Amino acid sequence: MMTDSTMPAQAPAAAPSETQAQLFPFVLQLADTSLILAHRLSEWCGHGPILEQDLAMANIALDFLGEARSYYQYAAELEGKGRTEDDLAYLRSAVEYRNPLLVEQPNGDFAVTIVRQFIYDCFHYHLLLQLKSGPDAQLAAIAEKSVKEAAYHIKWSSEWVIRLGDGTEESRRRVEKAIGNLWRYSGELTTPSATEQALQAAGLVPDYAAIQQQMAAHIARVFEEATLAVPEGVFMQKGGKDGRHTEHLGYLLAELQYMQRTYPGLEW
Amino acid sequence: MVEQLAPPTEEHIWQLLEGVSDPEVPVLSIIDLGIVRAVRVEGEEVHVTITPTYSGCPAMNVIATEIRLLLLAEGIHKLHIHNQLSPAWTTDWMSQAGRQKLEDYGIAPPVDGTATGHMLNLFGKDTAVRCPLCKSDNTHMVSQFSSTACKAHYQCDDCLEPFDYFKCHA
């Protein structure tokens, strides 16, 4: 990221309307979510189980980072207080971050990373399809771009869930354990926060009920092929979208923000 | 005495932009790739609109800088580079010349109509891609992710060489 004088903000310079300005917290939430997941995936760089999958995770991380930048640039413009994409990404504390809890969970082993990615991809892909035809032109433009990439991601993570579930005894044990540990964070994705509820009522944010159904259908199909059971009756954790995070986010941000916190305004 | 330069024409700018290559695929110009969407000249002011191939493509910043430097050398100081997301870039915009240059360079060009279709097509058959080296069709995909976001990793089953395939992105 960092200050970049050659590339202007992506959106037109016209001041956002009042309706658009309400979208700020939602766009920021999307930005935070993509950035945190990009960071987690990038932690694998150089540590992947095999070279091809190391590259796959780095590529997916880059897609999320690019998407995050588009959202941060738009959020900065919507806020209109002179903060830049870098200020929003590097100079906010953990309680100000609005990403759901799922994406900040540590990488664990490859199975944990795959299950985390699979759950998020199922939500992300269907969300982008909705945003692409939504009322806000800039969000629609970002989604139109990103949904093509998200299609590669969901294919990749779905195939890996199947390989691991229907693979060896060891891969199955690990993927089942990952599902057991991460499922509690899946519900937050489609449970609207108070902010999202208000925007949904105004028709600015898609209804999550439809997305939840599409997610469930895809998960059921993939788990069936993977010979895995979809967990039932799990108590769902939430809070990330309101700034109440697990302890992992602080450590992640300490690394992500280190340079800007130590040398404010540093450029390269 | 300062020589008065004639104002640039749009046609001339398009020609100049042929000289800017993609830093990650140096054999392709940004025109071949279809990254330049519009050129507009208003008096002394020049507007160039570009679109990213993939959201996180790190080449975009370099490309914008190179456009600026190139046009600066031509005496164009009032340059505005606009970044446009929609309509989203597609390999359909890649020129025929560009496709040929790619193959000659050792990268298989996109096979139209084979974009990752519906995500439910899991473990679907790989796109049949011709080996850019020995021209065999007997190849297989190693990974849909490769050296850059825009490419997949293939291997030829005849000459056994691994190669990059520029993914169809529609």
Lowest mean pLDDT among A3-12, A205-214, A250-259, B143-152: A3-12
Q: Provide the percentage of residues in chain A whose pLDDT is more than 70.
A: 95
Scanning chain A, the segments in alpha helix (DSSP H) are: 18-21, 24-42, 51-79, 85-90, 101-104, 110-132, 137-165, 169-182, 194-201, 208-225, 248-256, 258-262
What pLDDT score was predicted for residue B5? 64
Optimal mutation site among B54, B60, B92, B164, interface A, most CBs of chain A within 10 A: B54
- Half-sphere exposure of A83 toward its Cβ, with a 13 Å CA cutoff? 17
Q: Give the per-residue pLDDT at A96.
A: 98
- What pLDDT is attached to residue A9? 44
B114 in a structural domain: yes
Dihedrals φ, ψ of A207, to 5°?
A: -70, 130
Q: Are residues B70 and B116 in the same domain?
A: no
Specify if B3 maps to a domain: no
Is A118 within 8 Å of A157 (Cβ atoms)?
A: yes
CA–CA distance, A158 with A122 (Å, rounded to integer): 9
- Is it the case that residue A40 has pLDDT exceeding 90? yes
CA distance A142 to A150: 12
Q: What length does chain B have?
A: 170
Mean pLDDT of A12-32: 86
Query: Which residue, chain included where needed, has tokens 């370099």?
Result: B62
Question: Is the pLDDT assigned to residue A103 strictly greater than 50?
Answer: yes
My answer on whether B22 and B85 are in the same domain is yes
Q: Is the pLDDT of residue A6 over 60?
A: no
A146: which chain B residues are within 8 Å (Cβ-Cβ)? 55
Task: Examine the fold and report which residue of B89, B113, B148 is the final residue of a domain before the chain moves on.
Answer: B89
- The pLDDT of residue B119 is 56
CATH match for A20-261 among 3.40.190.10, 1.20.1260.10, 1.20.1180.10, 3.40.50.1220 = 1.20.1260.10
| B149/B114 same-domain check | yes
Nearby residues of B52 by Cβ (< 8 Å), 6 or more positions away: A66, A145, B35, B60, B83, B85, B89
- Give domain status of residue B31, yes or no: yes
pLDDT score, position A159: 95
Of residues B55 and A69, more confidently modeled: A69
Task: Judge if B105 and B85 occupy the same domain.
Answer: no
Q: How many CA atoms lie within 13 A of B145 on its CB side?
A: 25
Residue B55, in any domain of the structure: yes
How far is residue A31's CA from residue A75's CA, in Å, rounded to a whole number?
8
Task: Classify A204 as helix, strand or coil.
Answer: coil
Q: State the residue range of the domain holding B85.
A: 10-89
Look at residue A10 and tell me whether its pLDDT is greater than 50: no
Judge whether B96 lies within some domain. no
Is B4 a member of any domain? no
Contact B45/B76 with Cβ under 8 angstroms?
no
Domain closes at, from B89, B110, B144: B89
Q: Write down the mean pLDDT value for chain A.
A: 93
List the structure tokens of B36. 């330049």
Instruction: Say if strands B139-143 and B151-156 run parallel, antiparallel, or are unpaired.
Output: antiparallel
Task: Specify the DSSP element, H or E, that contains A106.
Answer: none
Task: State whether B40 and B81 are in the same domain.
Answer: yes
- Nearest-by-Cβ selection for A159 from B80, B83, B123: B123
Tell me, yes or no, whether B75 and B136 share the same domain.
no
Q: How far is CA A24 from CA A16, A66, A188, in A?
A: 10, 18, 20
Q: Do A8 and B81 touch (CB under 8 A)?
A: yes
Q: Is the pTM of this model over 0.90?
A: yes
- Among the partner-chain residues A53, A146, A222, the one whose CB lies closest to the CB of B55 is A146
Residue that is written with structure tokens 């600015």 in the block: A204
Examine residue B1 and state whether it is found in any structural domain, yes or no: no
pLDDT digits (tens, 9 = 90+) for A219-249: 999 999 999 999 999 999 999 999 999 999 9
Tell me how many domains chain B contains. Answer: 2
Higher pLDDT, B56 or A6: B56
Assign A155 a pLDDT band (cuts: 50, 70, 90): very high
Residue A162 to residue B120, Cβ atoms within 8 A = no
- Model confidence at A208, pLDDT cuts 50, 70, 90, reads very high
β-strand B162-166 against B36-42: which pairing, if any? Answer: unpaired
Examine the domain organization and report whether B18 and B41 are in the same domain.
Answer: yes
Question: Is residue B118 in a domain?
Answer: yes
Section A59-86 average pLDDT: 96
Of the pLDDT bands very low, low, confident and very high (cuts 50, 70, 90), residue A3 is: very low
Tell whether A7 is within 8 A of chain B (Cβ). Answer: yes
- For residues B14 and B82, membership in a common domain is answered with yes
Model pLDDT, residue B122: 82
Q: Do A151 and B119 touch (CB under 8 A)?
A: yes
Q: What are phi and psi of B156, to 5 degrees?
A: -85, 130
What's B55's domain CATH number? 3.30.300.130
With a cut of 90, say whether residue A259 has pLDDT above it.
Answer: yes
For chain B (170 residues), the mean pLDDT of every run of 10, in chain order, is 69 95 92 95 93 88 94 93 93 93 95 69 82 95 90 95 91
